[in-house]
Amino acid sequence: MSTSRQLQLVLVTPEQTLLDEPVTAVRLPLFDGLAGLRPGRAPMVGRLGTGELRFDAVGGGTRSYYVDGGFVQVKGTVVSVLTNRAVPSNEIDRAEADKLLDEARSMPAATDEAYDEKKRAEDRARQLQAIAARS
């Protein structure tokens, strides 16, 4: 394990690298719960869920992004987050999140697959609402 006091957070979407900077801690949503990462963490690979990726910047302060699934890898001091969608929390519009929840609630759920998709859409919208409320 590393004895460094920092992690290097790399946040990547298919379109671009959004972040590549040193941080002191990372909290992220895994598909089965939340994970907190600090320097010295054992290597790991995990599947991301939907929710808020928060990190403490080296110079102070906390920033966050909404992430929508993907994967995380911790190797040494590098935390690599690969996701299809990442939105800075300060760019999330509460009214838009409310609209997305209304749309999700009105989705038909005639089959098991449609019901599952409806629930996923509702969960995404609720996560966006919660992040917008904290920002």
Backbone angles phi, psi at 48, to 5 degrees: -75, 150
**Helices 94-105 and 112-134, axial angle in degrees (round to 10):** 160
Q: Rounded to whole angstroms, what are the CA distances from 30 to 12, 97, 105?
A: 16, 21, 24
From first to last of its 135 residues, the chain has per-residue pLDDT tens of 445 789 999 999 999 999 999 999 999 999 999 999 999 999 999 999 999 999 999 988 999 999 999 999 999 999 999 999 999 999 999 999 999 999 999 999 899 999 999 999 999 999 999 998 887
pTM score of the predicted model: 0.86
- Cα separation, 60 vs 27, whole angstroms: 15
Is there a contact between 36 and 3 (Cβ–Cβ < 8 Å)? Answer: no
